[in-house]
Amino acid sequence: MQGELLKTRALGMTAETSIVVTTEMTVGHFVAGMPKVYATPMMILHMEMAAGLAIAPELPPGYVSVGMSVDIRHLAATPIGGRVRAFARVIGVEGKCVAFEVETWNDLGKIGDGTHRRGIVNVAEFEKRFGVREV
């Protein structure tokens, strides 16, 4: 992979995803007795999706990015039916590791922020290394 090319082109790249919170995305769906509001793991998933989209156009064929770490704050609740936007911006590239600033917003304001790192991998080599088989 051309690491220097990614380093020069990816810095500052952004992407955004937008979803409407469903019952299946709430903490109450996963944990009995908890409120039916947007779950933190779902917020992290949407942040990761935005980060992956931000760099996907710069990756060579056969390569993807995979999550490596998250440092996230969930600042406010969003009820079922609320719209959430997840935003990611590349803030650094070092070798095969890409760092992002991530945020989530609903109609009332910012509901989450933090940093996220993704690793660049060759899908075929990655699956072979970990014994991934189609089911």
For residue 83, which phi and psi values (nearest 5 degrees)?
A: -90, 135
58, 74, 104, 116: the catalytic one is 74
Given 23, 24, 40, 127, the catalytic residue: 40
Candidate list 26, 48, 58, 116, residue with the active-site label? 48
Active site residue 29: no
- Look up 94 and say whether it is catalytic: no
Q: Is 46 a catalytic residue?
A: no
DSSP 93-123: EETTEEEEEEEEEETTEEEEEEEEEEEEEEH
Helix H or strand E segment including 90? strand 83-94
Name the maximum alpha-carbon separation found in the chain.
Answer: 50
* Residue 59: closest CA among 133, 115, 126: 126
**Active centre residues (catalytic):** 40, 48, 74
